[in-house]
A and B are shown apart, each in its own frame.
Chain A
Amino acid sequence: MRFRVFRFDPERDARPRLQDYDVRLKPSDRMVLDALVRLKEQDDSISFRRSCREGVCGSDAMNINGLNALACITPLKDLPEPVTLYPLPAFPVIRDLIVDMTQFFAHYHAIKPYLVNDEAPPERERLQSPQEHEKLNGLYECILCACCSSFCPSQWWNPEKFLGPAALLQAERFIVDSRDRATGARIEFLDDVYKLYRCRSIMNCTEVCPKKLNPAGAIERIKVALLRKSA
């Protein structure tokens, strides 16, 4: 199967280049990650991240034939050749398909991705009703692969200031959590022309989320929550 892969080694290359490969697949190779592992056997200089190989860790997010996706759950049979593999768009490239996610995780940490609750803890655990837990569905499943944020034009334009769909989806996850006591502060933190309102509902995030989540919807709900707060 033919592949065209983005290659860049900052220690050797002045500029990135695309390298063509003809990868000899085995019958058991089903996903793009399988092909990348075969490719690595042919050319061990190529670098990419991977870990769980089943769409849970989010390590192998990359741009496959123009769309951000996880290599481990993208079937090869659906892809026209040559399969082009780029690193996540707009993120600084460390080497080949590996990107620097420092800024991405800085935005994630900025929304305080943990429960804030200073009340004395109960004897066993902070319980939720099924209805309260239901609100977290579609939010907590985010694996922070960055497919959404890297494919968001608003993030391309303001990478340092706009928090991006992944961080905002996580923000919504804690805003709606019945056990959290910092809802007001969380919403107030997001009331900013850059942090939140750079989202123009382009919906690339929702289009490419490998977990089929809806960050654009979460962002819209935060905007409505802010509106209710100021009404």
Chain B
Amino acid sequence: MRLFSGQRAFVLQRLSALVLLAYLAGGALWLAFGPAPTFSRWQAWSAQPLAAAALLVLAAAVLAHAWVGVRDVMLDYLRPLALRLAALGAVATVLAGLAAWTALILFSHVLAFA
């Protein structure tokens, strides 16, 4: 797979879409057939290590999908290379920050309930 050929982004977009689709289907089934969702039930469920890990995978898929989408828009509209690199760097930093923040929230939540 060549670097910057566009294939990595294509694969990442398709894989993250599959993950999101699986979570969407799972979430819909849970809402349809599971117990009525309440805050305390959600809090207890998400404090389980496996559930937190699953939520982290979901967040990673959302952020990866967002990265490919925003990158596509920037490749189309930002023509000057310096401006494009700066904007892509800023987006990557924000998305990485969001990923770290999500991980921090989830694991502090798990530790608080342990």
Contact = CB atoms under 8 A, between A and B. Distances in A.
Interface in B1-29: 1-2, 4-7, 9-11
Interface stretch (B40-48, B56-64, B71-79): B71-79
B76 A230 contact: no
Contact of A223 (B4, B10, B72): B10
Binding site secondary structure of chain A = loop
Contacts of A230: 1-2, 7
A136 interface: no
Contact of B5 (A158, A193, A200): A193
Contacts of A223: 7, 10
A200 B72 contact: yes
A192 B5 contact: yes
Given A200-B72, A230-B1, A157 B7 contact: no
A157 B6 contact: no
Contacts of A227: 7, 10-11
A29 interface: no
B11 A191 contact: no
Interface residues of B, number: 13
A197 B2 CA distance: 13
Nearest to B69: A200
Contacts of A191: 2, 5-7
Nearest to A192: B5
Given A227-B11, A230-B1, A192 B76 contact: no
A157 B76 contact: yes
B76 A197 contact: no
A193 B76 CA distance: 11
A226 B7 contact: yes
Interface in A186-220: 191-194, 196-198, 200
A24 to B, nearest CB: 46
27 contacts: A157-B76, A158-B76, A191-B2, A191-B5, A191-B6, A191-B7, A192-B5, A192-B6, A193-B4, A193-B6, A193-B9, A193-B75, A196-B6, A197-B5, A197-B6, A197-B9, A197-B10, A198-B75, A198-B76, A223-B7, A223-B10, A226-B7, A227-B7, A227-B10, A230-B1, A230-B2, A230-B7
